Chains A and B, each alone.
Chain A
Amino acid sequence: MLGRGDWEAAQSGSELAYCPWEVRNTNSLGVKDVEHENIHSSLSSLIGTTHVQTQHNQLLVYPATEEEISQILRAASAHGYGVVPQGNGSQSQFGKGFIEKKIQLSLKRMTGIVEHSIPDLTAAVLAGTPLQMMQQVLKQSGQWLPIDPMVSAEATIGGIVAANSSGPKRILYGSLRDYVIGMRIVYPDGSVVKSGGKVVKNVAGYDLCKLFIGSRGTLGILTEITFKLRPLPHYQELVLIPLQTLDEAAKLQRIILASEFIPSSLELLTPQFSVELGQRPSYTLLVGCDEGEAACIYHRERLTELAGADFNLKRGEGADQFWQEYRSYFNSSSQDFLLAKVSVLPMQVLPFLQLLRELFDGSSVLMSCSAGLGTGIIRLTIQDGLNQDGVAPKLKIAREWAEKHQGALILEKAPFVIQKQLSIWGSEPSAFPLMKAIKQKIDPDYLLNSGSFIGGL
């Protein structure tokens, strides 16, 4: 039922790089129109005409309840349509598959905090709730969900969980898989499944939540997610140390990771990125501390011993503002923008940066990185000039290196000109057959977001 074409087949018209299915849909108008009318009226009768829209010949539905989602999935299945779930669409460029007949299912109307148990430090949230909105509510009780993903203000919590997004503070707080304690999911057959619960410790049955975190909407539609929360830090500081060489960074990385430091971030910015964020044109090491004022002072003194007193300091809200600017850098709406996420072991991060330097040395494209020295996660961006030959081959070499070192390089945002030369996900892991078997068991007809995950899942 789904035309899951390959990258090559759909590449005509690079200005439409992010929505190539439109190119195809216009090819055979007659039949498509009738089918479109049928499904449109069927959906309208289910959830009301105002909640079914057509934009650029594309069906968009806005259900308000789990029940409506179930009905939409059943209708889509009956009409031979695929369904692509989205929150606010803020990350929807990511790993887009090619489905000829599809319905975009937005969770925009499923917004709000269902339950926030302040003394229990837990909150159940509807999947369409923007993370920012959620954090604002939690903040009033001195709590937060300790994730700082590189997403825009409208990004929804459901989308963030589906993409398993994280940020620099992961070194201290961990990632979504450490905070999701329960979920409600609409399965492709329309049934509603609950996994986990609302308590912070729970080993009853399989931990299905793990399967859905980072599953890119290919297995089910998340409708409600329950999180374990943390108290907001009373005080935080961010020390920004300019460094001339990667060797200096390597030395500090080893010392900080192997001693008493409790960094809430440990990121190395490349010179290009440092300049963008108002720092000197050198490498910048960011060392955060969320452990309270006395601990922050201690951290600062230790860093002075190790690296001298020539650093910048951001305190409290100043640090928050810095991170906000930092995050916005990854949210370019430019079509000529690439964001790759690389994951390697912490001790491979600096060798990887060295490799990138060699690869891009003398190249005219603007490549910058923020490298998590404790997490091993590197965010690599390239602005402008992605049409030039040579960018994709360079990234391919970088990916091969990462994969050889037990890591991965995935494209989070990339124009089509890159996507046609370089796959989004890279090599399939050895356990791929099991992943495929799970997809086929849960979604045998490939109804959900098909083709957008690794290996065409």
Chain B
Amino acid sequence: MEQKHLVRALTQIVGKKSVLHHPDDVLAYECDGYTIQRGTPRAVVFPSCAEEVSKVVKLLFQAKIPFLPRGAGTGLSGGAIPLGGEVIISLVKMNRLLEVDFANMRAVVEPGHINLKLSNTISVQGYYYAPDPSSGSSCTIGGNVAENAGGPHCLKYGVTTNHVLGLELVLPNGEILNVGGSSLDLPGYDLTGILVGSEGTMGIVTKITVRILRKPQGVKTVLALFEDVRDASQVVSDIIAAGIIPAALEMMDQTAIKAVEAGSYSVGYPENTDAVLLIELDGLTAGMEEMAEQILEVCRNHHVSSVKVAKTPEERNRWWANRKTAFGACGCISPDYLVQDGVIPRSTLPQVLERIREISQESGLRIANVFHAGDGNLHPLILFDARIPGQTELAVETGSRVLQVCADVGGSITGEHGIGIEKQQDMYMIFTEQDLQAQQMIRNVFNPEDLCNPGKLFPKPARCVEMKRPVVHS
């Protein structure tokens, strides 16, 4: 189909204002939060309801034009980057909160609804939506479903898949379908479970039924500073070993601390701080004091240099803002940075940190470590300067080496950012050809012609990565 015919047909479905096709207009859609690779979309459409999504998809399906769904574009693995002239179906206009059923603790949202907005809206009644990715103030719940997003508080409450009960979906042939529902254990295969985290390769979600939770009665936040990162690692292990599952258990190393202190939400960590732990307890206030004391005790047993409990909500918020803006803050200490995302068995933390330090030395690139220590999810941030020829490639390669370390200790190559285009080849670190074929078998059921977000998630036969513009420029 010729471009002008395509634009006309799309315009007929969604209206003139909801189609972008001029090269200048689609520039912003060349990449998402992963900026190393870019591609130009054929067009960007903004449907306002499932029926419009369905019509657009049917049109593209018939014309055999590839397409991909996009939320806020905060994804970090390039899942929404159009590498093959896809039409981008942006879901930002489908952003309504359709229904909140407090008594049954369910909410129904459209995919473009902003993650944090849901919690904010239902907060007055004492409820919240648990998955809290650091990008929560801008990312969409539809995108969270695609990536099976996590966040600091997933240690106790689980990731997106543990909170999604049902979906309305437009299949890659345009058919609208419902999977799951609001009751539990509906008969049949758990299609909701397989769709969450499928990175937009099985269809386009148009409605999401989520579980909402009652806000806990009490929250206690502990900030502990260490002069040796190994002590902090040991504290993480000992807290879990004591039978405590905190709501969150976050860690930053020295380089990351330098970054957040240079950022907009500095806390004032002393110069010699080698690691920071941010530990949060929640639940009934009865017994919480004792549990907090237990945690303080564990910290003291491991040479904590300073440990305190947040006295006010403002103090707590400050600590969290400091932590949650850590990625961006790396821009204050380095021209460019690459965010990695690996998972390791918690017990291997000290040895993995040591290996990362060695890799950093060998590559000559600084690596800042920010991680969800409680569940072993590391976010090494590789700092580099894209203006120096070869450094971008070196940063990518260094990231891959870090992932190999994670894989070697029995971990995973991604805990919450997804595979997208970034880690397609890295899939071989943890899966065999047979494993990958089994996954593609399922994709072929939903997306037999591979028109919906093609060329993502699975390794390509031959590696061909074209480096374009570098990562986040600050």
Residue positions of A touching B, CB distance < 8 A: 117-122, 142, 164, 166, 174-175, 177-178, 187, 191-195, 197-211, 213-215, 219, 230-232, 234, 254, 257-260, 262, 291-295, 297-299, 341, 343-347, 375-377, 406-408, 410, 425-426, 428-432, 434-435, 437-438, 441-442, 453-455
* Known contacts A178-B162, A201-B150, A295-B283, A344 near B347 by CB under 8 Å: no
B40 at interface by CB-CB < 8 Å: no
Q: Which of A187, A191, A200, A298 has the most CB of B within 10 A?
A: A200
| Shortest 4 CB-CB contacts between residues of A and residues of B | A210-B193, A294-B287, A231-B243, A298-B286
* Known contacts A119-B346, A213-B193, A434 near B183 by CB under 8 Å: no
Structural contact, A294 and B290, CB atoms closer than 8 A: yes
Structural contact, B184 and A376, CB atoms closer than 8 A: yes
Q: Kindly identify which residue among A202, A208, A432, A441 contacts B194, using a CB–CB cutoff of 8 Å.
A: A208
Structural contact, B193 and A435, CB atoms closer than 8 A: no
Structural contact, B245 and A204, CB atoms closer than 8 A: no
B174-198 contact mask (Cβ, 8 Å, vs A): 1 or 0: 0001110111111111111110111
Structural contact, A192 and B214, CB atoms closer than 8 A: no
Q: When chains A and B are docked, how far (Å) is the Cα of A353 from the Cα of B66?
A: 50
Q: When chains A and B are docked, how far (Å) is the Cα of A262 from the Cα of B162?
A: 18
Within 8 Å CB of A199, what residues of B?
A: 343-345, 375-376, 410-412, 415
Within 8 Å CB of B457, what residues of A?
A: 205
Task: Of the listed stretches B258-266, B322-330, B425-433, B462-470, name the one at the interface; the rest are far from the partner chain.
Answer: B425-433
| 19 cross-chain CB contacts under 8 A | A142-B243, A175-B184, A178-B162, A197-B411, A201-B372, A201-B376, A203-B197, A205-B435, A206-B197, A206-B443, A210-B161, A213-B193, A214-B190, A219-B189, A341-B185, A346-B104, A406-B181, A429-B188, A431-B178
Structural contact, A200 and B436, CB atoms closer than 8 A: no
Minimum CB distance partner of A141 in chain B: B241
Q: When chains A and B are docked, how far (Å) is the Cα of A291 from the Cα of B282?
A: 11
B340 at interface by CB-CB < 8 Å: no
Within 8 Å CB of B287, what residues of A?
A: 291-295, 298
Structural contact, B375 and A201, CB atoms closer than 8 A: yes
Within 8 Å CB of A215, what residues of B?
A: 189
Structural contact, A206 and B442, CB atoms closer than 8 A: yes
Chain B nearest Cβ from A376, distance in angstroms: 6
Chain B nearest Cβ from A281, distance in angstroms: 30
Structural contact, B185 and A343, CB atoms closer than 8 A: yes
Within 8 Å CB of A259, what residues of B?
A: 214
Structural contact, A120 and B194, CB atoms closer than 8 A: no
Structural contact, B444 and A203, CB atoms closer than 8 A: no
B392 at interface by CB-CB < 8 Å: no
Q: When chains A and B are docked, how far (Å) is the Cα of A215 from the Cα of B185?
A: 11
Contacts A207-B194, A376-B104 known; 17 new A-B pairs at CB < 8 A: A120-B347, A193-B435, A199-B410, A199-B412, A201-B154, A202-B412, A204-B423, A205-B457, A206-B439, A211-B189, A214-B185, A214-B189, A257-B214, A258-B214, A294-B284, A345-B182, A438-B442
Q: When chains A and B are docked, how far (Å) is the Cα of A204 from the Cα of B162?
A: 16
Chain B nearest Cβ from A300, distance in angstroms: 11
B98 at interface by CB-CB < 8 Å: no
Structural contact, B445 and A438, CB atoms closer than 8 A: yes
Q: When chains A and B are docked, how far (Å) is the Cα of A234 from the Cα of B431?
A: 38
B240 at interface by CB-CB < 8 Å: yes
Structural contact, B442 and A208, CB atoms closer than 8 A: yes
Within 8 Å CB of B243, what residues of A?
A: 142, 231-232, 234
Q: When chains A and B are docked, how far (Å) is the Cα of A231 from the Cα of B156?
A: 12
Within 8 Å CB of A294, what residues of B?
A: 284, 286-287, 290
* Known contacts A120-B376, A177-B193, A345-B104, A202 near B414 by CB under 8 Å: yes
Please report which residues of chain B, range 94-113, place their CB below 8 angstroms from some CB of chain A when the two chains form the complex: 101-106
Q: Kindly identify which residue among B183, B237, B244, B436 contacts A343, using a CB–CB cutoff of 8 Å.
A: B183
Structural contact, B375 and A205, CB atoms closer than 8 A: no
Q: When chains A and B are docked, how far (Å) is the Cα of A202 from the Cα of B446?
A: 22
Within 8 Å CB of A454, what residues of B?
A: 187-188
Q: When chains A and B are docked, how far (Å) is the Cα of A211 from the Cα of B105?
A: 25
Within 8 Å CB of A195, what residues of B?
A: 435, 438-439
Number of B residues near A (Cβ < 8 Å) is: 86
Within 8 Å CB of B377, what residues of A?
A: 201
Chain B nearest Cβ from A149, distance in angstroms: 12
Q: Which of A203, A208, A437 has the most CB of B within 10 A?
A: A203
Minimum CB distance partner of B347 in chain A: A119
Q: Which of A201, A291, A344, A346 has the most CB of B within 10 A?
A: A201
Within 8 Å CB of A430, what residues of B?
A: 177-178
Chain B nearest Cβ from A85, distance in angstroms: 16
Within 8 Å CB of A193, what residues of B?
A: 434-435, 438
Q: When chains A and B are docked, how far (Å) is the Cα of A77 from the Cα of B237?
A: 48
Chain A nearest Cβ from B246, distance in angstroms: 12
Minimum CB distance partner of B409 in chain A: A199
Structural contact, B187 and A192, CB atoms closer than 8 A: no
Structural contact, B183 and A376, CB atoms closer than 8 A: yes
Within 8 Å CB of B344, what residues of A?
A: 199
Structural contact, A201 and B343, CB atoms closer than 8 A: yes
* Known contacts A175-B184, A193-B438, A195-B438, A346 near B103 by CB under 8 Å: yes
Structural contact, A191 and B434, CB atoms closer than 8 A: yes
Within 8 Å CB of B216, what residues of A?
A: 260
Within 8 Å CB of B197, what residues of A?
A: 203, 206-207
Q: Kindly identify which residue among A209, A343, A347, A442 contacts B441, using a CB–CB cutoff of 8 Å.
A: A442
B417 at interface by CB-CB < 8 Å: yes
Chain A nearest Cβ from B396, distance in angstroms: 18
Minimum CB distance partner of A164 in chain B: B185
Q: When chains A and B are docked, how far (Å) is the Cα of A257 from the Cα of B162?
A: 19
Structural contact, B193 and A207, CB atoms closer than 8 A: yes
Structural contact, B186 and A343, CB atoms closer than 8 A: yes
B416 at interface by CB-CB < 8 Å: yes
Structural contact, B413 and A347, CB atoms closer than 8 A: no
B3 at interface by CB-CB < 8 Å: no
Chain B nearest Cβ from A208, distance in angstroms: 6
Chain A nearest Cβ from B421, distance in angstroms: 14
Within 8 Å CB of A209, what residues of B?
A: 193
Q: Kindly identify which residue among A197, A293, A344 contacts B430, using a CB–CB cutoff of 8 Å.
A: A197
Structural contact, B417 and A203, CB atoms closer than 8 A: yes
Q: When chains A and B are docked, how far (Å) is the Cα of A121 from the Cα of B105?
A: 29
Structural contact, A438 and B189, CB atoms closer than 8 A: yes
Chain A nearest Cβ from B137, distance in angstroms: 21
* Known contacts A119-B237, A437-B445, A429 near B187 by CB under 8 Å: yes
Chain B nearest Cβ from A155, distance in angstroms: 18
B158 at interface by CB-CB < 8 Å: yes
Minimum CB distance partner of A192 in chain B: B434
Structural contact, A204 and B427, CB atoms closer than 8 A: yes
B118 at interface by CB-CB < 8 Å: no
Q: When chains A and B are docked, how far (Å) is the Cα of A56 from the Cα of B181?
A: 42
Minimum CB distance partner of A289 in chain B: B284
Q: When chains A and B are docked, how far (Å) is the Cα of A331 from the Cα of B299?
A: 47
Chain B nearest Cβ from A315, distance in angstroms: 16
Within 8 Å CB of B442, what residues of A?
A: 206, 208, 211, 438, 441
Structural contact, B434 and A197, CB atoms closer than 8 A: no
Structural contact, B103 and A231, CB atoms closer than 8 A: no
Within 8 Å CB of A178, what residues of B?
A: 158, 162
Chain A nearest Cβ from B205, distance in angstroms: 13
Within 8 Å CB of A262, what residues of B?
A: 283-284
Q: Which of B190, B377, B438 has the most CB of A within 10 A?
A: B438
Minimum CB distance partner of A181 in chain B: B412
Structural contact, A205 and B162, CB atoms closer than 8 A: no
Q: Kindly identify which residue among A194, A377, A406, A441 contacts B445, using a CB–CB cutoff of 8 Å.
A: A441
Minimum CB distance partner of A433 in chain B: B177
B240-252 contact mask (Cβ, 8 Å, vs A): 1 or 0: 1101110000000
Q: Kindly identify which residue among B103, B419, B438 contacts A187, using a CB–CB cutoff of 8 Å.
A: B438
Within 8 Å CB of B347, what residues of A?
A: 117, 119-120
Minimum CB distance partner of A430 in chain B: B178
Q: When chains A and B are docked, how far (Å) is the Cα of A254 from the Cα of B103?
A: 7
Within 8 Å CB of B291, what residues of A?
A: 292
Within 8 Å CB of B237, what residues of A?
A: 119
